[in-house]
Amino acid sequence: MKSSEPRVGKRLFVGSLPYKFTEGELLSLFAPFGRIVSLKIMHNQWGKSRGLGFVEFDNLQSALDAKKHLNGYQLTGLKIIVDFAKPDPFLTPEGQQRHLDAQKNRRSKISRIRQSIYDSRRYGAHSGAKFASRNKRRKR
């Protein structure tokens, strides 16, 4: 393989999946093409499907066959997208460092937001006190 050619892996990206599609159904869809090493449907933080997943085969020929036959395959009114997945950046030392940096930045941002809410309640709540005193006067 020449260095200018893109590197092709055995891991496939599967997009435009129906939201109620399960990993078992995805396994039965891709199993005829070869031995599957790993399979995962991505979910959001509430456990609902994001409509995409990844399938990894044990050899490259199985992945090529699955991509060739299933890209554009019609599933319950949706045509699924099957393509080679990009390598996971978390597996490299640079990717792990970016992940740690992003977590640190997120924590500091959350603490700044909480501090600003605290400040506004403590120092800027005079309008609420004025409104409460006006309502007390009207009731008399």
Query: Would you mind telling me the total number of residues written for the chain in this entry?
Result: 140
pLDDT in tens, the chain (140 residues): 344 334 568 999 999 999 999 999 999 999 999 999 999 999 998 999 999 999 999 999 999 999 999 999 999 889 999 999 988 777 788 888 988 888 887 766 555 555 555 555 555 555 555 555 555 555 55
Residue 134 within a domain: no
Helix 60-70 to helix 23-30 angle (10° resolution) is 100
Residues 20 and 79 in one domain: yes
**CATH code assigned at 79:** 3.30.70.330
Amino acid found at 70: L
**b/e 79-88 (16+ beta carbons within 10 angstroms → b):** ebbbebbeee
Which range marks the domain in which residue 113 is found? 89-123
